[in-house]
Structure 1
Amino acid sequence: MTVFIQVVLPVLLVFGAGYLLQKLAKLDLKSVSTVALYIMLPCLVFKTFYNADLNGEYVMMLVFSALLLVSILVINKVVAKIKGYDASMESGLILSTAFMNSGNYGAPIILFAFGEAGFVYSVSFLVLQAIIMNFFGVYYAARGKSGLRMAIVSVLKMPPTYAVIVALIINLGSIKMPGNLMSSVDLLANASIPMVMVVLGMQLAGISIKNMDWSKASYASVVRLIASPAIAFVLTLLLPMSDLMASVLIVSAAMPSAATTTIYAVQFDSKPELVSSITLMTTLLSVITIPLLLMMYI
């Protein structure tokens, strides 16, 4: 109960504020999320990679992310084959289970649970997940050549992608940023996490459940909230990394479905109602699963 009150509840209260704001004020969600994506999040990403001590741990994080994605894709393809699901249904389940909300939800949870040291790993992981989701998420939503082209364009349109590149060049080149410029970056970076938390609350306010398929939603919830962290646990045993990094990656892998996947599902008609319902269901269930998992690692 202490973990829930000290770590999860503060995060849920901010989500709730965004949820209520959107229900009452009906704001333009796209405009609000654009501010977070194009200004605040790139600053957080730049700050993280600019100050990061780049070493083999980041390579391990990349390997971990790839293996986790492949594992969940295999699970979904096997289930789709056994159940006889069509490509659209398979894509909807992949969107709901393979891509976790490591940014809006995961990053603040990690910050409250593991402090600044764990938060650095969390930001690095959320960047990797954003790139993976914008590429493979679009691909599986659209499939075919158009999906591949749109996936590449989607990644290239992401401001955090360029923030990573610039930060890595400056970091590896041992270039010193001017103090006044870095102060501006720090200011926006510090505001990014509260902002994306409010955005998630606003996104959840726009999700509606119609004719929920309980069997598929339950399956997806088990994969996202239980199987994913279990796979992550095994991977952290196989890959060399610090205990803190392992804990952060396992908890991050247990996050609910990413709200962004609902947008992809709607755009490409990959079972949008199912994806939306799973996003909401996993987010609600995570209020139970995340505290239980945190009690094992804090």
Structure 2
Amino acid sequence: MVIFLSILWNNIIPLSVMIAIGITLHRVFSLDIKTLSKLNFYLFSPAIIFKLLYTTEVTLKSAMTVLLFFVVFMVLMYACVEAVIRLRGIAGGRRGAMRNSVLFYNSANYGIPLNELVFASNPYTLSIQVLIMMLQALLPNTYGIYSVNAHRISGKEIIRTILKQPVIYAIPLGFLMRGFHIPIPYALSVPLDYSANAFIGTALVTLGVQLGSMKFSVHSFMVKEVLISCTMRLLLGPLLAFAVVWMLGLEGLMAQALIVSSSVPTSLSSVLLAVEFDNEQEFASQAVLASTVLSIVTVTLVIFVLNV
């Protein structure tokens, strides 16, 4: 019960307040969601990724272990969601939206506070979560763009779009500058901090604006697919993480941190992708909202089973 209330108070309620602010602002002022999406994609998201990579202590051994886990885990998750897509006959842009809602999870503004809560701000487990967040930031800006556009534009256009994403340059730059101990000039560090700190709030307001613009004409097929997405993200995700951790022989805090990181709800990046590339915005928004609410129960269950 204590963990349940902590997740509710520290994660769900703050997220819900920001989403509600976005809904209200849109209803009053009719905010331009495309502008908000571009701010997240091209400014705030790369800023927070760069800052966390630059400031977090990460060992090479931890990085390689997390990378191996992530690759195996994502391959298994992709195989499962692809099987569901084919069994249900999901077609067109909905295929990409379904994949994104399962494969991209909220490792930043949900995963990092959750990691600090569960592991009492342990620097080692935090570094693991930051690595997961970095990999999760890279995926939407590469595979995610391909996934929502593959059915309508050519491969060359997709590559050009991916190469325009600042995140794919912010990640190696953050590693290199930290590795070579290159200081950031004060004139740049201040705007970097401002931009990084704006990411979570702006992303949540963007989700609220998208939800506020929807008429919520609920179709039975969408309800079923949202529930399928939530089941795979919140239940299948941790189960597969358990399996991968066991396969790789990982134990202790490393294993626990990786499993907890896999249990969080669908990422806001799936909504940002849907908005930016005009692909199944309603489904993406409902998947994020539903998985975030349901995660109160499922994440608490995962932490209880791990006995952290």
TM-score of the superposed pair, with normalisation by structure 2: 0.79
Q: Give ranges in structure 2 of 5+ residues lacking alignment.
A: none
Distance verdict in 2 for CA 1:82–1:113, change over 3 Å:
same
Partner of 1:177: 183
Partner of 1:139: 146
Q: Give ranges in structure 1 of 5+ residues lacking alignment.
A: none
Residue 155 of structure 1 deviates from its aligned partner by 4.3
Aligned letter for 1:291?
Answer: T
Distance verdict in 2 for CA 1:253–1:127, change over 3 Å:
same
More deviation, 223-232/16-25 = 16-25
Partner of 1:287: 296
Q: Determine if contact 1:141/1:265 at 8 Å carries over to the other structure.
A: yes
Figure out how many residues of one structure are paired with residues of the other and give that number.
Answer: 295
Q: Quick check: 1:164 aligned with 2:171?
A: yes
Q: Quick check: 1:191 aligned with 2:206?
A: no
Residue 251 of structure 1 deviates from its aligned partner by 1.8
Partner of 2:228: 219
Identical-pair percentage: 22
Query: What SS class does the counterpart of residue 18 from structure 1 fall into?
Result: helix
TM-score of the superposed pair, with normalisation by structure 1: 0.81
Partner of 1:22: 22
Q: Determine if contact 2:36/2:206 at 8 Å carries over to the other structure.
A: no
Match of 2:240 among 231, 240, 243: 231
More deviation, 109-118/142-151 = 142-151
Q: Determine if contact 2:21/2:208 at 8 Å carries over to the other structure.
A: no
Aligned letter for 1:288?
Answer: V
Aligned letter for 1:55?
Answer: L
Q: Determine if contact 1:110/1:119 at 8 Å carries over to the other structure.
A: yes
Distance 1:258 1:112 in 2: 19
Q: Quick check: 1:97 aligned with 2:97?
A: no
Aligned letter for 1:275?
Answer: A
Distance verdict in 2 for CA 1:245–1:48, change over 3 Å:
farther
Please provide the CA RMSD for this pair.
3.2
Distance verdict in 2 for CA 1:11–1:153, change over 3 Å:
farther
Partner of 2:11: 11
Q: Quick check: 1:252 aligned with 2:261?
A: yes
Distance 1:201 1:19 in 2: 5
Post-superposition Cα deviations, 1:89-112, rounded to whole Å, max 9, x if no partner, equal: 433321221221222322222232
Distance verdict in 2 for CA 1:167–1:241, change over 3 Å:
farther
Distance verdict in 2 for CA 1:206–1:154, change over 3 Å:
same
Query: What SS class does the counterpart of residue 76 from structure 1 fall into?
Result: helix
Q: Determine if contact 2:106/2:268 at 8 Å carries over to the other structure.
A: yes
Alignment map for 1:101-116 (pairs within 5 Å) = 101-114=106-119, 115-116=121-122
Partner of 2:75: 70
Partner of 2:204: 200
Post-superposition Cα deviations, 1:256-278, rounded to whole Å, max 9, x if no partner, equal: 22233234345656544333322
Q: Determine if contact 1:255/1:290 at 8 Å carries over to the other structure.
A: yes
Query: What SS class does the counterpart of residue 17 from structure 2 fall into?
Result: helix
Aligned letter for 2:116?
Answer: L
